[in-house]
Amino acid sequence: MAGTAYRTDRRPRCHAMGLGARLFTAIWLMAILATPLCAVAQPSPRAVLIVDESEPGSPFSSRFNAQIHATLDAETAQPYAIYAESLDFGHFGGTDYDAVLRTYFVDKYRAKPLSVVVVLGSSALEFLTRTRSQIWPDVPLVFAAFDGGIARASLPANATGTIAPRRLQDLVKSARVLVPKLARIALVGEQLERQPFREHYRRELAQLVKEVDVIDLTGLPLAEIKTRVASLPDDAAIVYIPIYIDGAGISHNPAEALTIVAAAANRPIVVDSDSLIGLGAGGGSAISAEDLGREAGRMVARILNGERATDIPIAVKDLARPIFDARQLKRWGVSEIALADGSELRFREPNAWERYRWQILAIAGVLAIQSLLIAWLLYEHRRREAAEGESRLHLLEVTQMDRAVTMSAMSTSIAHEINQPLSAILSNAEAAEMILAEKSPDLNHLKEIVADIRRDDLRAVDIIKHLRALLKQDEIDGQIVDLSKVLNDTLEIVRPQAAEHGVAVDVKAEPASMPVRADSVHLQQVLINLAMNAIDAMQNVPASKRMLALRINRQDDEVMVSVADTGEGIAPDKLNSIFEPFVTTKEQGTGLGLSIARTIIGRYGGRIWAENRPEGGAIFRFTLNLAEAQRA
Amino acid sequence: MSTEAPVIHVVDDDTSVRTALGRLLRAAGYQVCVYESASHLLEQLPAAERGCLLLDVRMPGLSGPQLQDVLAKMGFALPIIFLTGHGDIPMSVRAIKAGAEDFLSKPVSKKVLLEAVDRALRRYDETHAHDVQMSLYRDLLSSLTPREREVFGLVVRGKLNKQIAHELGTSERTIKAHRHNIMQKFKVKSLAELVSIAERLGVLTAPADG
């Protein structure tokens, strides 16, 4: 085209200047031009373009780019701006595409001078090498590639980078983890030669076939792949080569294609890209985009900071790591322990512990405290039971002691009672003797005397019977006694005591007998205790008003005995506590009588309680079950 | 001594015992009154004629010993015999100290009982006789003339006739005559007897001027 390149020697008149004027202009121009340079400079951000060979939005390149950002933030103070381009060599290629790209890049970045171009992938690198002279010839290149076979010699000038080799044998290693008895590899997906960035696997295949059989299922249509992978032998694993275009010429998203293959496959799959983990692949070998990005980013930073690309040596870093999907491990029955150190395990469901660590700890803490509490309570309970047992034992001892005391008191009382009839008998007999010695003894009188003697003798016999009952070694359990009779017997002792204290006694008993299963002495103990308490309660009551009322009646299956007094009654809040040991209102009281009574009644399965009478005074009642014979 | 049979008062709450004792004592020739409680006795308080009390110890209401106290306060003078169905030693000691005649245990045989009653009646007699005697002496004392009284007081203090005459301002002969009258009135033959009577009357402890 017609350029403006030629120069004329003709100088237009108006431009003619003298030397001084030219000098002045030059200085003036320089001053103007130099001003921005002298001002506090805000240099414009350095443009960093990342060119990656995969499809737009590929997860790997997104993470790679993000890492470049992060690394530059960390490693350089230079302001920078990042641009990104995806070449999508999976879907597009050929010389025509080259031309399109060339024009596109040149036009697009004409006004945007680039400081560094980052190249991700060896195909992209090859592309830029090819087009170096046309596209950004002077811009330093930083590449990141997976292919260990990059020919150094073919690298452009002003380029440096990191090679992180991706090896098929790493894939096979991971496959062995998934299939311990691995004997076969099924290569599934796109043909290797169509994928420039995996093409180097082919070189490894030659070595690989020495270890395992290789089933070549590459280049098949997806439909057929699905069938073939469904019937693989048990000692096989699948190596998935991402499918961009399948054997039938249909375009696919490599990730989607993987899910379809995985759904159909009957063996584990290994992949070489970590963005494919989680789509059904069991594992594989992957290079972390972050690691690679960090390496590349550092180099970019160095260049931005002023170094020359040629001064930065090309790095070869083994960044490949075994990577597995925990869910697939579970599916194929592989334990996490089988993984080598340095393996990455994805989709590990954080087990309950990891997810809810604090909640678990809190709950565990609460449980621990609860357990401790329960243990302590159990301990206390046991101690308490032991103490109660002991106290019951003591109470029983005391009951027995009280029984002995009662018996002793009763026997004294009985001895006294016996003396009365015996005394009367003796005096009667002696009187009869004297009358008989008279001249004409009064026979009627003698008859009276003899009758009296007889009656008193029987009375004495009765009393002896009581004594026998007292002294007999009784069988406490199983013995049936008539509570009515026991009450009557007890009255023999109670009445004199009541009389001594000026207390009137009123007894109402149902005529029927009331058989209960209990020891008669125990029952007498209770009755005497209650009666004596009642008598004591009426000490301060005028003599004419002292009344001890005893009732015995039957209520369904039980017999109830009531002992009522006309004393001052019991404080309502003490109606229960008076049955506790050592609770007494008497000055000289032991406080044991009622608790012994309660123990005894409780022992025979009855109840005992106290009430206040509305007309004043207290009434103590106890119930006992009637023995079977009498049950209605 | 009265020819009437002595009266034994029996207090016992046990009917059989009371009846039997009554029979026995009557058969032995005594008169018997029976009471079923101490308050019954106090209600029907008998005359303190010759006799004694037979008290049960344990009774409803007033016990035997309590009745003893009440009777003592009242000045009721019949001797008391206790009968008890218990062997109550402390009580028996107390009762005896308080003046009871005896403390017996039931059952009591005729022999023991009647001996005790006998002793009780003798005690009564002694007390009674003593009382009678004392009352006699008091009458005699008050029957002395004032002058005789003075002389009596000095004589029993061992003063000689001469001294008494000097003190009272009369002659020895008058004193001798008074002395003779006094002895006659008191029916004693010796000074010693007179002194004894005077002592019993409490004259000796009175001031000397009679």
The minimum CA-CA distance between A500 and chain B, rounded to whole Å, is 4
Beta carbons of A607 and A622 less than 8 angstroms apart: yes
Tokens of A192: 């290797």
Which carries the bigger pLDDT value, residue A483 or residue B2? A483
Domain ranges of chain A: 46-163, 168-286+322-350, 474-632
CA distance B200 to B195: 9
Q: Do A425 and B107 touch (CB under 8 A)?
A: yes
pLDDT surpassing 80 at residue A417: no
What mean pLDDT do residues A73-87 have?
Answer: 90
- pTM, two decimals, is 0.40
Tokens of A627: 């023995």
Order the strands of the B31-35 sheet from edge to edge: B31-35, B7-11, B51-56, B80-84, B102-105
**Among 3.40.50.620, 3.20.20.70, 3.60.9.10, 1.10.10.10, what is the CATH number of B144-201?**
1.10.10.10
- Give the pLDDT score at A628: 67
pLDDT surpassing 90 at residue B137: no
Please write the tens of the pLDDT for every residue from A458-490.
988 888 887 776 666 444 455 788 899 889 888
> Fold identical between B7-130 and B144-201?
no
Q: Roughly how many angstroms between the first and final C-alpha of chain A, as a whole number? A: 135
pLDDT band at B18, cuts 50/70/90? very high
- Give the pLDDT score at A581: 75
Of A416, A421, A435, the CB nearest to B16: A421
pLDDT band at A445, cuts 50/70/90? very high
The minimum CA-CA distance between B203 and chain A, rounded to whole Å, is 49
- Give the pLDDT score at A12: 44
Side-chain half-sphere CA neighbours of A34 within 13 A:
7
| Percent above pLDDT 70 for chain A | 84
Strand runs (DSSP E) across A87-221, as ranges?
A: 116-120, 141-145, 159-163, 184-189, 213-218
- Tell me whether residue A135 is exposed, middle or buried, using C-beta atoms within 10 angstroms of its C-beta: 0 to 12, 13 to 18, 19 or more: buried
Q: Number of Cβ pairs closer than 8 Å across A and B?
A: 85
Q: Backbone phi, then psi, for B105, in 5-degree steps?
A: -105, 140
Poorest-confidence range of A274-288, A388-402, B93-107? A388-402
CA distance B5 to A489: 43
Look at chain B and count its residues.
210
pLDDT band at A5, cuts 50/70/90? very low
Strands A618-625 and A558-564: antiparallel
Tokens of A522: 């125990």
CA distance A232 to A264: 11
The minimum CA-CA distance between B29 and chain A, rounded to whole Å, is 10
> What sign does the CA torsion over B7, B8, B12, B17 have?
negative
- Give the pLDDT score at B32: 94
Q: What is the mean pLDDT of chain B?
A: 87
- Tell me whether residue A90 is exposed, middle or buried, using C-beta atoms within 10 angstroms of its C-beta: 0 to 12, 13 to 18, 19 or more: buried
CA distance B51 to B101: 12
- Give the pLDDT score at B3: 64
CA distance A244 to A548: 112
pLDDT surpassing 50 at residue A95: yes
- Give the pLDDT score at B49: 84
Domain ranges of chain B: 7-130, 144-201
CATH architecture of A474-632: 2-Layer Sandwich (3.30)
- Give the pLDDT score at A2: 44
Q: Do B58 and A500 touch (CB under 8 A)?
A: yes
**Among 3.40.50.450, 3.40.50.2300, 3.30.450.20, 3.30.497.10, what is the CATH number of A46-163?**
3.40.50.2300
The single residue listed with the structure tokens 């000026």 is A502
Tokens of A304: 């931005």
The minimum CA-CA distance between A427 and chain B, rounded to whole Å, is 5
A274 near B CB under 8 A: no
Please write the tens of the pLDDT for every residue from B25-84.
999 999 999 999 999 999 887 777 889 999 998 888 788 888 898 998 888 888 999 998
Q: Do A430 and B58 touch (CB under 8 A)?
A: no
Q: Do B16 and A455 touch (CB under 8 A)?
A: yes
**DSSP per residue, A36-87:** HHHS---PPPEEEEEEESS-TT-HHHHHHHHHHHHHHHHH--S-EEEEEEE-
B37 near A CB under 8 A: no
Q: What ipTM was assigned to the predicted interfaces of this complex?
A: 0.75
3-state secondary structure of A516: strand
Please write the tens of the pLDDT for every residue from A307-364.
888 888 888 888 888 888 888 888 888 888 878 777 888 887 766 667 778 888 888 8
Q: What is the mean pLDDT of chain A?
A: 83
pLDDT band at A3, cuts 50/70/90? very low
pLDDT surpassing 80 at residue A262: yes
**Among 3.40.50.2300, 1.10.10.10, 3.90.1640.10, 3.30.950.10, what is the CATH number of A168-286+322-350?**
3.40.50.2300
3-state secondary structure of A132: coil
CATH superfamily, region B7-130: Response regulator (3.40.50.2300)
Pick from A453, A513, A446: nearest CA to A486 = A513
Write out chain A residues lying below 8 Å of B60, CB-based: 496, 499-500, 502
Interface of A with B in 479-518 (CB under 8 A): 496, 499-500, 502
Beta-bridge partners for A120 = A52, A144
Beta carbons of A615 and A608 less than 8 angstroms apart: no
The minimum CA-CA distance between B17 and chain A, rounded to whole Å, is 4
3-state secondary structure of B152: helix
Strand runs (DSSP E) across A489-602, as ranges?
A: 504-509, 515-517, 547-555, 558-564
Beta carbons of A509 and A537 less than 8 angstroms apart: no
Q: Do A449 and B23 touch (CB under 8 A)?
A: yes
> Fold identical between A46-163 and A168-286+322-350?
yes
